[in-house]
Amino acid sequence: MMDVICTVEGLRKHGQLGSTAEAFGAPDEVLLMSTGPASHLAKHSMIARPPRRRAVIRQPKGTLPVKMTNNPLEGEPVWRTPEMLHATMQTWRDGEWHDDERIEAPDLEVLLRTLESEMLAPEPFVTQVEGWPQRSFLSGAFAYDLVQWTQPITIHHPPAPDALLAVLWAVDGALLIDHATGLAHRLHTEGDAWAEHVHPAEPRSTAPPSTHHTPTESSMDDARHAEAIEQVRQAIVEGRMYQVNIGRRWTAPLPDDPWEVMRRLLVGNPAPFSAWTWAPDLDHHLLSSSPESLLRIHAGKAMASPIKGTYPRGSDALEEQALRRALVEDEKETAEHRMLVDLMRNDLGAISRPGSVRIERYDVEAYATVQHLVSHVGSTLTVDPPAAFASVFPGGSITGCPRTVVCAAIDAMEHEPRRFWCGSIGWWDPDGHHGAWNILIRTMQVRHEGQQRMADVLAGGGITIGSVAEREIEEAVWKADALLSAAGWSSPRSSTRGVLRITPLSVPHGTPLGGRLGRRRERPHGTVVLVDNLDSFTHNIAHAIMQLGHDVHVLQGRGPKGPTDVEESVSRLLSAAPSHVLLGPGPGRPEEAKFSMRLAQMALQSHTPPLLGICLGHQALGLAAGGRIVHDPHGPVHGRPVHVVHDGTGLFRDVSGRTTRMVRYNSLVVEGTVASGLQVNARSGHVTMGFRSTDGRVHGLQGHPESIGSEDGDRLLRTFLDAAHG
């Protein structure tokens, strides 16, 4: 059995890795380590050969902080088109890195694809390992701050000019350790002697921290953290967002060697997506014991594994079981998790075949100090790995929902760049078959201030309307505790520790749909037109429509790609004669979605094809019909199924009985009975959950029929789509 720690130390000792490996390449190190017991998560660890080519991506030099003119917690973000993204390709020779060529691209996807073609040799590896590339590939670390090129928002607290945003290494050899068998497989090209003979170091005990009382500086104290949580909760009440992930930073000197700290993490906090990257000349050093996968690709099949919902470990088996049961039954935690699952279904839906997005596993995963709810969402991709990665980066579990808006809110709340925290480390196959990226949580960033070695640890959590400040602050510390302790810093609180354990739960399944699948269309002619109002569930609705056999055209209704002239855009859309129009959900008030509001007004005048409004679209119809949009007097409901009573008319005609359950994601509601020909046909207590026009052509649903937690969503959509045009 080959131990990854002893193997790394043996390679260093024998001049095959790190600063002693000058015969093979640079001192840079790329280690992807799946630690803990072998499982469906922890399969292989990868030790990359000393690299000879790399690409360095930095913040543009002309970047300056931008004064905030519009608070995203109170209104729409400031949109922007980003600057070009630049990468410098480098080659290792004569004992140092040399710049070769500088390339630029408009976004992350294009840049990664360009680097593939420029940096990688076609020569195949002598040995083939199933699930891994057959030739050299790219692996590296991506800072969260690359969000500037994946979301169309203005960042008011950008990284400093020339700050490091990513390092990507060309991996032309690697040692893979199979955790199921304990065997090592060497990926290498013909004639390469690297790691031909591996002599692992002798096992040794991991030294404790040299100090246990180093004080830390935090980016926000508990009072400021509580204030930020309350600001987010108020924004949720106003309908701006459903959930926002807020983090805080702890910083202190790091007296111990970083590898000793990493050893403590691997032994004391084993995690399946751990990683270590080091580029000494760039002052880049990441130590990660991440439990979370952003995206895995195997033979064109994608898997995302959102983590959301957290409880501490128990002090014994009985307390552990009780806490696990409490986590699974906690309404706030499960609603938060359901929201993230719907978000990841949406993100994969944007890049996957219709009908292929599904939930494959639902588990409680217990790590050293915490246990989490984890779902594994799979799909069949229609794009290559660079496009897939750029589409889901940064992950929804560490940003929130709706993602575009909350990324702007995070910038406004945290007041500083996240750097590599909540970014990603991973690799991908240039031939498009495989890839894997983690999310850089439970991660330490090591750097230097002059001659002093410093480290940053960040942690946080998702804030929802049900958040209690004291509990959220405590949760952030639970998550940071393993790293704070490994560094020898004073942890604000102590945590109960345990070993990795995975407990499978019952997988939630939507109703299977069969028959012909529809397709996405670039033009609206004769299709179902879905108006995207900047929501994070739009592609779930699109997939539901396609699964019911209808072609769909997704039209941007607001934001940087939305219409500039509403009247002209509405006229152009209706002249294309779509079969149906669906006004999608989104953040904020319906008055802000001017394109949807105009379509709602015209629908009530019988000037549109059959039209359905969902959530924000439902509110637009209610407002256009003379109703009022008010705060739900009982507070926001996000990610939670509610009991709906209906009269069996309109979209509810094929729903058995007179009740159903539908997931809500809203803070605002249509007050009372609306006028102008709309009749209420569904309620949940005081909330109007559905209405219809007297001629059966216009419908509104406050709930989300596409959510994994809605019982009869497919029937409601099928009834709408069965409506004839005219």
The 3-class SS string of 33-56 reads ECCCCCCCCCCEEEEECCCCEEEE
| Coarse DSSP helix, strand, coil percentages of the chain, rounded to the nearest 5 percent | 25, 30, 40
What share of the chain has pLDDT > 90, as a percent?
83
* Mean pLDDT, residues 15-37 taken together: 94
Distances (CA, A) of 492 to 247, 253, 262, 618: 16, 17, 21, 47
- Burial class of residue 134 in the structure, from the number of CB atoms within 10 Å of its CB (0-12 exposed, 13-18 middle, 19+ buried): middle
**Residue 515 has what pLDDT?**
61
Alpha helix locations (H) across 293-330? 317-329
Tell me the C-alpha distance between 123 and 351, whole Å: 30
Q: Check: CB of residue 428 under 8 Å from CB of residue 338.
A: no
The alpha carbons of the chain give a radius of gyration, in whole angstroms, of 26
pLDDT at 673: 65
Mean pLDDT of 542-552: 96
Only one residue has tokens 């195949």, namely 124
User: Tokens 């080519």, residue?
Assistant: 53
CA distances from 238 to 74, 233, 397, 588 (A): 8, 9, 22, 7
Query: CA-CA distances (angstroms) from residue 108 to 78, 147, 160, 246, 417?
Result: 21, 9, 19, 24, 18
Residue 18 φ/ψ, nearest 5 degrees:
80, -150
Instruction: Report which DSSP code applies to 243.
Output: E
Residue type, 489: W
pLDDT of residue 497: 62
Assigned token pair, 627: 């109703």
Query: DSSP code of 298?
Result: E
Rounded distance between C-alpha atoms, residue 602 and residue 608, angstroms = 6
For residue 1, pLDDT beyond 50: no
Task: Tell me what the pLDDT averaged over the chain comes to.
Answer: 93
Q: Report the distance separating Cα 49 and Cα 312, nearest Å.
A: 38
Confidence of residue 138 (pLDDT cuts 50, 70, 90): very high
Q: Which domains does the chain have, with CATH numbers?
A: 4-504 (3.60.120.10), 528-721 (3.40.50.880)
Q: What is the pLDDT of residues 580-620, one digit of tens each?
A: 999 999 999 999 999 999 999 999 999 999 999 999 999 99
CB atoms within 10 A of CB 51: 28
Torsion, CA 151, CA 153, CA 156, CA 161, rounded to 10:
50
The three-state secondary structure class of 61 is coil
Average pLDDT in the 286-302 region? 95
CA 580 to centroid of chain Cα atoms: 31
pLDDT of residue 420: 98
Task: Write the pLDDT tens digit of every residue in 309-342.
Answer: 889 889 898 999 999 999 999 998 999 999 999 9
Q: Which residues lie below 8 Å from residue 341, measured CB to CB, with a gap of 6+?
A: 306, 359, 375, 377, 708
**What is the structure's pLDDT at 131?**
92
| CA proximity to 29, closest of 285, 293, 291 | 285
Identify any residues that bridge with 362 across adjacent strands, giving them in sequence order: 375
State yes or no: pLDDT of 418 exceeds 90. Answer: yes
Q: Is residue 661 exposed (0-12), middle (13-18) or buried (19+ Cβ within 10 Å)?
A: middle
Give residue 204's pLDDT: 93
Looking at the predicted structure, is the pLDDT value of residue 511 above 60?
no
**pLDDT band for position 726 (cuts 50, 70, 90):** very low
Is the per-residue pLDDT at 15 higher than 80?
A: yes
Measured from the Cβ of residue 389, the count of other Cβ atoms closer than 10 Å reads 24
- 521-530 average pLDDT score: 95
Per-residue pLDDT averaged across 527-547, rounded? 96
pLDDT exceeds 50 at position 469: yes
Beta-bridge mates of residue 553? 529
Dihedral over Cα of 338, 343, 346, 348: its sign = negative
Q: What are the tens digits of pLDDT across the range 228-260?
A: 999 999 999 999 999 999 999 999 999 999 999
Burial code (b: 16+ CB inside 10 Å, e: under 16) for 220-238 equals bebeebbebbebbbebbeb
- pLDDT surpassing 80 at residue 496: no
Cβ neighbours of 191 (radius 10 Å): 6
Structure tokens at 549: 């056999």
What's the start-to-end Cα distance of the chain, in Å?
A: 70
Within 8 A by CB and 6+ apart from 451, the residues are none
Least confident residue range of 235-244, 367-376, 430-439: 367-376
For residues 707 and 663, is the Cβ–Cβ distance under 8 A? yes
- Report helix, strand or coil for 591: helix
How far apart (Å, rounded) are the C-alpha atoms in residues 599 and 596?
5
- pLDDT band per the 50, 70, 90 thresholds, residue 513: very low
- Joined together, the tokens standing for residue 86 give 């630049």
CA–CA dist 424, 142 (Å, integer): 5
Helix (H, G, I), strand (E, B) or coil at 469: helix
CB count in 10 Å sphere of residue 474? 17
Q: State the pLDDT at residue 674.
A: 66
**DSSP assignment letter at 587:** S
Give the containing element (helix H, strand E) for 310.
strand 307-312
148 pLDDT above the threshold of 80: yes
Lowest mean pLDDT among 72-76, 112-116, 228-232, 290-294: 72-76
- Give which of 300, 293, 497, 473 is closest to 397, Cα–Cα: 293
- Rounded to whole angstroms, the Cα distance separating 641 from 716 reads 16
CA distance 76 to 587: 9
Q: What is the pLDDT of residue 165?
A: 98
Whether residue 508 is predicted with pLDDT greater than 80 in this model: the reply is no
Tokens matching residue 285: 């050093």
Catalytic (active-site) positions: 615, 704, 706
pLDDT digits (tens, 9 = 90+) for 669-725: 999 766 678 999 999 999 999 999 999 999 999 999 999 999 999 999 999 999 754
